[in-house]
Amino acid sequence: MSDVTPEATKNPVARLLDSAAFRNTITTLILVNAAILGLLTYPLPELMVQVLTYADHAIIAAFVVEIVLKVFVHRLNFFKSGWNWFDFLVVAISLVPAAGAFTVLRALRVLRLFRLFSVIPEMRSVVEALGKAIPGMGAIMLVLGVIFYVASVMGAKLFSGTHPQFFGDLGGSAYTLFQVMTLESWSMGIARPVIAEHPFAWIFFVGFVIVTSFAVLNLFIAVIVDSMQSKHFDAETERQAEAHDEREVLIHEVRALRSELADLRELLGKEGGADQPSMPSLSDSNRADKAE
C-alpha cells in the first residue's frame, strides 16, 4: 500500500517517493549499509575502514534526504504514521555523534536494518500482525507467570534442602524452571540429579514441561497465526468494501444516464410532434373521392 495520498500524487516529488525505483533504491541502500556495519566489526586495513566509513556517511545522508522529502510532501501528516516515526527515529539515532556519553548509540546504528520493515510491504504486514497479537500474548504471559510462580514455590519447598544450587530460593527456582521450559540440558543437568534424591520428582518435571513447553508456548503460535489470518481477512474485507463502493458509484452513474436519456427522448418527441406537418386522414381522402 502506498504511503502517498491521492492529493499528494500531483506533486512530482510525491510521485518519485511512491515509485518502485525509489523504494528499491532505499531497500538496496539499507542492505548495503547493514553489510558495511557488519564488515566494520572485523579488523580491516585503515584505508578500507575509511572507505567504508565514508560510504556509511553517504548512505546516512541519503536517508536524511529521504526523510526531508517525505516531510516536504506530507507536511504534518508525516507524523501521523507510526512507520514514519520509526524511520525518523532510526535516522535520528544515526546522526547522534557516537562519542563520549553517546558511545552506546554506536551499537544502535544497526537498527537501520529494521527499516526494511517499513520499506517492504510484506514484512510490514507481518510486523503489524505481531503488534495486533500483543494483547492476546499478554494474557498468555499472565497465565504463564502464574504457572511459573506456583511451580517455583513448589520447587523451592520440595527440593531446596538437597539441591540449593537449583531451588535455593524463589528466584533461583524460577530461573531453573525457565531452563527446564526451554528444554536446554534439563534432563541430565537438572531433572536426573533431583530424581536421584527424590524418586517421584519426575512427576513435577514432566508435568511442568508438558504444561509450559507443549501447551502454553504453543498458544503463542496460535495467537500469532490467528492475528495474521485476521489481518488477511481484514484486507480482503477492505478490498470487497472498496469494490462494493465502486459498484454503487457505477450503478448510480448508469441510473443517471438512463434518466438523462429518457428526458432527452421525451424532449425530442415533443419537438418532433410540434414541427411535423399534419397529414390528411384516410376518411378525409375517401370523402374527397366521393365528391369528385
Average pLDDT of the segment spanning 100-121: 72
**Stretch among 174-188, 235-249, 253-267, 273-287 having the lowest mean pLDDT:** 273-287
What whole-number distance in Å separates Cα of residue 71 and Cα of residue 213? Answer: 47
DSSP state of 235: H
Residue 288 is predicted with a pLDDT of 47
pLDDT digits (tens, 9 = 90+) for 6-44: 444 457 888 888 888 888 898 899 899 889 888 988 898
Higher pLDDT, 270 or 280: 270
| Residue 105 main-chain phi, psi, to 5 deg | -70, -15
**Stretch among 119-123, 253-257, 287-291 having the lowest mean pLDDT:** 287-291
pLDDT interval class at 281 (50, 70, 90): very low
Residue 99 is predicted with a pLDDT of 54
Mean pLDDT, rounded, of the chain = 80
Residue 19 is predicted with a pLDDT of 87
pLDDT digits (tens, 9 = 90+) for 210-254: 988 888 778 878 887 777 777 666 666 667 777 777 788 888 888
Residue 62 is predicted with a pLDDT of 92
pLDDT interval class at 285 (50, 70, 90): very low
H-helix segments, the chain:
12-18, 20-39, 46-74, 82-95, 116-119, 121-159, 164-167, 170-181, 186, 192-197, 201-211, 217-275, 282-291
pLDDT greater than 50 at residue 287: no
What whole-number distance in Å separates Cα of residue 277 and Cα of residue 279? Answer: 6
pLDDT greater than 80 at residue 174: yes
Residue 190 is predicted with a pLDDT of 92
Residue 130 is predicted with a pLDDT of 77
pLDDT greater than 50 at residue 290: no
State how far Cα 119 lies from the chain centre. Answer: 11
